[in-house]
Amino acid sequence: MSLTQLPRVLVPHPHIRTDVSILSGSPHVAGSKVPVRRLWAWHRGGTAVETLMRRYPNLGPGKILDALSFAYDNIDLIQADIDREQRLFDERGKVDPLERPLAQLALPFAGGGSQPPPSSAPPPSRRGRRQ
């Protein structure tokens, strides 16, 4: 199984790196292994930038916004990277997690997550205080 080579970067960005020894050459955020295609997929699916900042607090707003800007400037490269990832999923027989609409994915970092079901056990009893 050989990986196809990705198109060249047309517009470089300061916070984005491509290195064949990291993520098989996929563009990623400098100092991390977060691929730009992942941030782009979330953003394209309607996830707010603020949500991405909560999900990836170690990146900070500058790197996240730069990654999205890189994706817009290098859309052919990002699409080729997404296509390559999909081919790998297909070859390995795994289900792509992005096949489901993003609205169906539980985003615990987005706030407003689901509450745990109420317990059927009675609440613990409280002892009366002596005076």
pLDDT tens digits, 68-83: 999 999 999 999 999 9
pLDDT number for residue 15: 97
Lowest mean pLDDT segment, chosen from 4-8, 42-46, 51-55, 107-111: 107-111
Angle at alpha carbon of residue 4, lines to 66 and 105, rounded to 5°: 55
Is residue 66 within 8 A of residue 27, CB to CB? The reply is: no
The model's confidence at residue 99, banded by pLDDT at 50, 70 and 90, is: low
Find how far residue 109's CA is from the centre of its chain.
12
- Averaged confidence pLDDT in the chain: 81
Q: Could you give the domains of the chain?
A: 16-98 (1.10.10.10)
Q: Which residues pair with 29 in a beta bridge?
A: 16
> Distance between CA atoms of 12 and 17, rounded to whole angstroms?
9
Tens of pLDDT, residue by residue over 7-41, are 999 999 999 999 999 999 999 999 999 999 999 99
Supply 39's token pair: 């941030």
Q: Is the pTM here over 0.95, yes or no?
A: no
